[in-house]
Amino acid sequence: MEKEALKVVNRGEEDEMDVSGYRLCRWKLAIVGVGVVLTGGFLLLLLYWMPEWCVKATCTRTTIREAEVVLLRSTDEFKRWFRAKVHVMLAPGKNPFDCPDSRIVANGHTPHPAENQTEGCERKYSEYQPLQIRYFTLHSTKYYWNDMSQNFEVLKGLEDLGVKCSSVHDDHSKGLTEDEQDYRRLFFGENEIAVKVPSIFKLLIKEVLNPFYIFQLFSVILWSADEYYYYALTIVIMSVISIATSLYTIKKQYVMLHDMVATHSIVRVSVCRANNVIEEAMSTDLVPGDIMVIPANGTIMPCDAVLVSGTCIVNESMLTGESVPVTKTNLPNPSRSAKGTEEDEVYSSELHKRHTLFCGTNVIQTRFYSGELVKAVVVTTGFSTSKGRLVRSILYPKPTDFKLYHDAYLFLLCLVVVAGIGFIYTIVHSIMNKVPFHTIIIESLDIITITVPPALPAAMTAGIVYAQRRLKRIGIFCISPQRINICGQLNLVCFDKTGTLTEDGLDLWGIQRVENSSFLLSETHACKEDLVKSQFVACMATCHSLTKIEGKLSGDPLDLKMFAATGWILEEATEEETALHNRIMPTVVKPPKQLLPEAEASADQDMPSYEIGIVRQFPFSSALQRMSVVARLLGEKRMDAYLKGAPEVVASLCKQETVPHNFSEVLEGYTKQGFRVIAVAHRKLESKLAWHKVQNVSRDTIESNMQFLGLIIMQNKLKAETPGVLADLRRASIRTVMVTGDNMLTAISVARDCGMIPPQDRIIIADALPPKDGQTAMINWHYADNPPEHASMAGSNPEEVHIRLEEESSGAALHSMEHYHFAMSGKSFAVIAEHFQDLLQKLVLHGTVFARMAPDQKTQLVEALQSVDYFVGMCGDGANDCGALKRADSGISLSELEASVASPFTSRTPNISCVPSLIREGRAALITSFCVFKFMALYSIIQYLSVTLLYSILSNLGDFQFLFIDIAIILVIVFTMSLNPAWKELVSERPPSGLISGPLLFSVLMQILVCLGFQTLAFLWVKYQPWYHQWTPSSDACSLSNYSLHQNETAHDEHNIKNYENTTLFFISSFQYLIVAIVFSKGKPFRQPSYKNLPFLISSFTLYAFILFIMLYPVDAIDQFLEIVCVPYQWRVTMLLIIVVNAVVSVLTENLILDVILRKFVFRRDKQGSSGTTSAMQTPQVHSTEGIDRRGERFLSFLCCQRRRAPKAKYMNLAQELLVDPDWPPKPKTTTEARKAPSHENVSYQIISAT
């Protein structure tokens, strides 16, 4: 059969996968079954580890439509394979939104009619033929077969239909019958985010089937067969401890995530049925299309739903990280709008998030009018909701692509090849010497366990465990210990802003009023008796979006601070009052009596008090950079309009004669000092604008011809530790990036203030617009002011101070500019990611400020940075950071709530000072891993050399010699050499990321050659000694006194352990283990020096002294235990000289040749600058060295097989390319348009100069 072309599921999404269909093949299954039996189950393990091999070995290819098994492969850089079984479900129809019969109860089987139904219904049911629907489940998501697209697709909810806003009201707001609900539940499942906690047994099986543990099991069985019980028992104990620790950690993570998700996820809800009957139901019964009644006292949302009536005040901190209540209004109904002015858009939870209640968010309270219920249409349920997607990203994260682990497997593969050579040599040599068959099998397999040490995983884990303990002591907790190593490679850290870099709150610094078109002196307080009736204070008291929740004011922090500064009181209509009036029942603000003039305060109680009612509110718009309200003073006929926002925007809406002539200079003075500035304005509305007319008047009509009132100056304080930590990271050549949900100009201001963007550096704002009305997507490039004029921006809610654009600038001067930073919003990032993919990597190379980023956009940014080979850290404190914290190479949460479940690291210290500490410990752990890996590799090779040399004379090391080396030397050294603490400060140099690098390979290979040379020398030299002969129990190579002790030994040495070669190699190799341990155990600049590691110092010295003592002054009991034979004292001294020379050569090779000479000329690495350009700037300088240096470098490079090549990191290559690009960075006032590139070009955009 001709193979069907690969299909793609989730096209264009993060989890896009190729899918192919297979059908089980009986003869293949039979062959595999025989193979499993013949290999003792090993083939089954191999198929378990390799899903694609499993499918291809047991199935034949078929069309996806007829598939019994599907094989999926992710299209990202990891190319992961997944296997899923296709199931068949019975249902009365294929479309979940088109129930064939409202009375059919769809449970996946043919429904049975109730006893009381009519004969006609019974006859109808008896004729009913269910349809077969094929589906498979992967990562908690069901994929259903779609006949139209001939592919599997995910059913998410109402958005699948592409419903318009009017349709949501007209067609989907009437509710579902119970039968319709049951039918839809068949497709969408229960509304539950089920995090199943696996049993200990399942986790144990999964952990034990790890290839390393399987190899350890094989080794233990082999050693037991060879009667090498002691070391086998040691390895078993270590493995059990390792597995138990791992199981405890994994189980704890599952339980934490389950508890987090289960909290309030299953609640009782009120559902409105098709006949307008309100029923109580469990939230798990909800399906897309249900009408949920939101209770007045609030609830935790169990699904994503769009409001169709009423208003809700919601805390969305679970999604945004900002614990600021948000007002959600009902979705506009264009079909009922006045004169049909509103455009009927397709509903989207992203575009209409002001009207959407998201799963997991807390509805604090609702507002309804004239007895009208607050209703919402369920849009998505379960794992398709916003919370479900977040949980799924935690449950099924993308793998961390860390070069160390790839290289470790490659290195082990090399050791396996070496072991294979020894395996073949052992078999051939043993057969030639007629060694018994069972001995050949055991010894040849033993050579593999010697070369590939089973203790390697435990040894590699030691440094990480110690680093984890040190982190715990400084308040950093880790749930993914393997990530500690990756922290050592971080060269870029993303920071959330609010609560991470800055304090959560804002402070009012002062106000500066305007009278008669001139600024007055600045004032620190607005709460004064002489200002209480001023329009300036009235604007501060009314122009906000505050609301009372359980008697407490809630809203944007800036609004709270501004209102609190007035000292006024806010009163809202009660539910009873609201039910009696229209929705225009105003919120009232008034000053306390003590602020009013004494005459009014002491006046008769019947006189009307000084109150202002807020009649209409135009909410803040980040696009317009302003908000406004219409208010009315009690007793006044005419209404007032109050406006606040970005100073330039507000000034442009005011009568020019009311704006002070020195407005720009005063504003600049405040922004230079880092203040956030907001302007306010006012005007009296025409008397013809009555109460009801105001409700329908346009915003532009209100926000015009205003009178400028003055400036409000706010302070957004950085955390005290922020600037110092960022300076430390910059000195260590670690890039810092801000990714926040706050507005862009506020983020730029904070980036300037904290030193993330140095004063002399330029900021380029990328404002991307999506395709519209036939026009292609485009990016407008704006250059910010000169840095001194742009020390800070205004705004949080009125947020942005307008950034003046550069009117004139030389293109050449801009191109020569070395340091520049891109800033963009989440919307721009989304447009660029979709329409300017070639440009995205260039932008992230210099992108420093990413604002208004949604949670999934933060994750996409992390992935974009990783795609150019950055090692990315992420530091945040909110649940909105969860996805990015999980996806980053190292995620650090400053919160112990939701974010801590997703984040590998959680800091009890609520500031970013934990970041440098974590990187330092990561670097120390990484270097420790390299040291341990190199040491374990040398240990294997040294023992392999010893055993191979002894096999040549049909000898071997004795059991207790193996035991002494493996436990007394290796385990003690490994677990103490890992104790070196981290270096006290961060340095600009970074440790290598992998084992397959010039310096590390050279180090290992040179030490192997040194050890091989000296072992071979000793092995051959001993045979040329005058006293040498083949050893027997009666041999006398020592003094007579020693001979008398051995003359009674008559036992036959079956394994030929006791001989002069064995004794010589045992002593030489024992010292070699200690020599390479000292040589590889390096300190500065990443770890404290070894002499500060007291356990390592004591254990090394003790072992040196012990081995030296038993070599020079033999103790018979020890000699007999270790099966050492007596050799002349002269040879003992000779061995000592060999060991000393070996030590000198090893130290010189590592510290002089490698660290000084070769690192300078051959292995020199480009410094990787913090901005991404430094490394590229330095690269051309390599070519300008003197001729003799270049010749020397080339010669050494040739000797070490090192050719000049471009830097491995993509971001460094990009930086080099951009240096010679005449169109980069983009010039001010230019536009980049997206265009379809010709087939022979690789350009998807064109830069057009603005006219």
Instruction: Provide the annotated active-site residues.
Output: 496
Residue 254 makes CB contacts below 8 A (sequence gap 6+) with 195, 197, 198
For 326, phi then psi, to 5°, come to: -115, 135
Q: How is residue 812 written in tokens?
A: 């050449």
Euclidean distance between CA atoms 288 and 596, whole angstroms: 55
Its sign, for the CA torsion 6, 9, 11, 13, is: negative
Query: With contact defined as beta carbons under 8 Å apart, do 871 and 918 qualify?
Result: no
Query: With contact defined as beta carbons under 8 Å apart, do 679 and 711 qualify?
Result: yes
Euclidean distance between CA atoms 979 and 1051, whole angstroms: 45
Give the amino acid at 775: Q
972: left (phi over 0), alpha (psi -120 to 50) or beta: alpha
Residue 569 makes CB contacts below 8 A (sequence gap 6+) with 589, 590, 591, 592
The b-or-e profile of 656-695 (16+ CB within 10 A means b, else e) is eebbbeebeebbbebbeebbbbbbbbbbebeeebeeeebe
Q: Quick check: helix, strand or coil at residue 198?
A: coil
DSSP 8-class letter at 107: S
For 202, phi then psi, to 5°, come to: -65, -45
The b-or-e profile of 361-376 (16+ CB within 10 A means b, else e) is bbbbbbbbbeeebbbb
What does the DSSP assignment read for 157-194? BGGGGT-BHHHHHHTSSS---HHHHHHHHHHH--S---
Give the E-state strand segments of 597-722 in sequence order.
612-621, 626-633, 640-645, 676-684, 707-715
For residue 241, CA distances in Å to 236, 246, 287, 501, 1210 come to: 9, 9, 46, 40, 41
Answer whether the bond into residue 591 is a cis peptide, omega within 30°: no
Q: Quick check: helix, strand or coil at residue 96?
A: coil
368: left (phi over 0), alpha (psi -120 to 50) or beta: beta
Q: Which residues on adjacent β-strands are paired with residue 478?
A: 905
Query: With contact defined as beta carbons under 8 Å apart, do 497 and 747 qualify?
Result: yes
Q: Quick check: helix, strand or coil at residue 530?
A: helix
- Would you tell me the crossing angle of helices 200-208 and 211-225 to the nearest 10 degrees? 70
The set of long-range contacts for 769-772, using a CB threshold of 8 Å and a minimum separation of 24, is 769/831, 770/831, 770/834, 770/835, 771/835, 771/1234
Euclidean distance between CA atoms 842 and 875, whole angstroms: 23
Q: How is residue 459 written in tokens?
A: 């040894």
Query: With contact defined as beta carbons under 8 Å apart, do 780 and 795 qualify?
Result: no
Residues listed for the chain: 1251
Query: With contact defined as beta carbons under 8 Å apart, do 269 and 286 qualify?
Result: yes
The b-or-e profile of 459-476 (16+ CB within 10 A means b, else e) is bbbbbbbbbbebbeeeeb
Euclidean distance between CA atoms 498 and 740, whole angstroms: 7
Q: Which residues on adjacent β-strands are paired with residue 780?
A: 767, 1231
Quote the Cα angle for 315-318-319, to 5°: 95
Query: With contact defined as beta carbons under 8 Å apart, do 415 and 940 qualify?
Result: yes
